[in-house]
Structure 1
Amino acid sequence: MKAGWITLALGALLAAVPAPDAAAQTRTTAAAPRHTDADVRFVRMMIGHHQQALDMAALVPTRSQRADLRLLAERIDVSQRDEMATMHRWLQAHGAPAMDAHAGHGGAHASHDGAADSSHADMPGMATPEQMAALAAASGPAFDRMFLELMIRHHEGALQMVAELFASEGGGQEPSIFALANEVDADQRMEIGRMQALLEGPLSPTAPR
């Protein structure tokens, strides 16, 4: 008799436990931020944007005699290569092929049909082919100042791209894109500060020679 009472009590207790709300679970899943077309476009464009920074940084060792500028170029190279690797992995994970990183970035590369990719050419802060050629032809203090001026402008362009991503509808809300965009923003701001300090200090026109 006692065992039967216990069985009935357990049955009533289990019946009182609410079943999982499938609808609520679906709503939670649907509410999780998903990537947008703006996210894909941002990643693709930023890969090309970073590539030009790498091309500029690669000129420093053979054209500058300044140890501080060489160290800055190394830092830019390491940070932007790491971010590019992250961006390539993100595109692969989301089934979005990457664009030619060199297309239209101001170098000698073009798209497969022979014309530069205008979407890359129109990115903010990108150096023109003429500016890249002038930078490659310079050396010494003239190169140092030109490099810093072009790279500051280039980094400011990346900040604009991040701002445009977050201003787009739903852009930058998917967790990995949110983290990436904020990392790009933080890195570029820090490096802009370093470059401005060099331009206003040892590379200032009024600095003692």
Structure 2
Amino acid sequence: MPQAPCKPVFALAVLTLATAVARAQSSSPVIVEPGAPGQPSKTLPADTRPSLPPASHADVEFMQGMIMHHSQAVEMTGLIASHTSNAALASLGAKISSSQSDEIRFMQRWLAARGQPISMAMPGMPEMDMDGNPMKPMPGMLTPAQMEALRAARGAQFDRLFLTGMIQHHNGALIMVKDLFNTAAAGQDADIFNFATDADNTQRAEIAIMQKMLEKLSPQKLSEVKQ
């Protein structure tokens, strides 16, 4: 009669395998730094963080300025719910607010990872830059007077002011992206290149949508706006 498998030996094998797997999972990851040509690689401590390439001054200013730029766009979209019943505008505003809020967080992380300040403004003095000079307005941003007019408007008047203002705002962002890529040694960072390219494509598409929305405003509504 054939003998039954030895259960203690089988159980011991399973236990040994489980222990090995647990040890492998709990062990610290190995970080290897490739050596220069002809030189051996080096094993680095597990808590070593990969170093980031130095950011150009233009890259940093672009990210700081775009945070300020996006923040005003989010502020503008925040007025929609209480200022108009236009469902199409509300849908567009929600999309702009969501995407630009996400991008603000991305830009803040990018700057923080490189030890750069989130804002280009002097702490406590938003009208002054870090060098003590007056802050230059970002291209396309609404003036205080335009923002006040937008806050005071309601209904069809708000719709038109919002659309014209956001088109102006988006066009300003396109200028910022163009200026970045026209600056020597700027926009070479992969994260910035991808972000700026995506922002350019997205805002061009949204400009086209807003232009069509403006065209659809009825003559009666347009006359209400002009009054």
TM-score grouping bracket, smaller chain normalisation:
0.7 to 0.9
Unaligned runs of 5+ in 2: 1-35, 40-51
Task: Give the 4+ runs in structure 1 shifted more than 2 A.
Answer: 20-23, 32-35, 113-119, 204-209
Q: 3-state SS of the aligned residue for 1:151? A: helix
Query: Are residues 1:52 and 2:72 paired?
Result: yes
Give the superposition deviation at 1:38. Answer: 0.4
Percent of pairs with identical residues: 44
Unaligned runs of 5+ in 1: 1-19, 24-31, 104-109
Contact 1:135 1:147 (8 Å CA) reproduced = yes
Q: 3-state SS of the aligned residue for 1:141? A: helix
- The structure with the greater share of residues assigned to strand is 2
Contact 1:54 1:80 (8 Å CA) reproduced = yes
Q: What does 1:55-204 correspond to in 2, within 5 Å?
A: 55-99=75-119, 112-113=124-125, 115=127, 118-119=134-135, 121-201=136-216, 203=217
Aligned residue identity for 2:219:
P
Aligned residue identity for 2:186:
G
Give the superposition deviation at 1:150. Answer: 0.4
Contact 2:89 2:159 (8 Å CA) reproduced = yes
Report the aligned-residue RMSD: 2.8
Give the superposition deviation at 1:193. Answer: 1.1
Aligned length: 174
- The structure with the greater share of residues assigned to helix is 1
Q: Which has the higher contact order (CA 8 A, sep 6+)?
A: 1
**Whole-Å Cα distance in 2 between the matches of residues 154 and 178 of structure 1?**
21
Give the superposition deviation at 1:183. Answer: 1.5
Aligned residue identity for 2:215:
E
**Whole-Å Cα distance in 2 between the matches of residues 115 and 160 of structure 1?**
22
- The structure with the larger Rg is 2
Taking structure 2 as the reference length, the TM-score comes to: 0.69
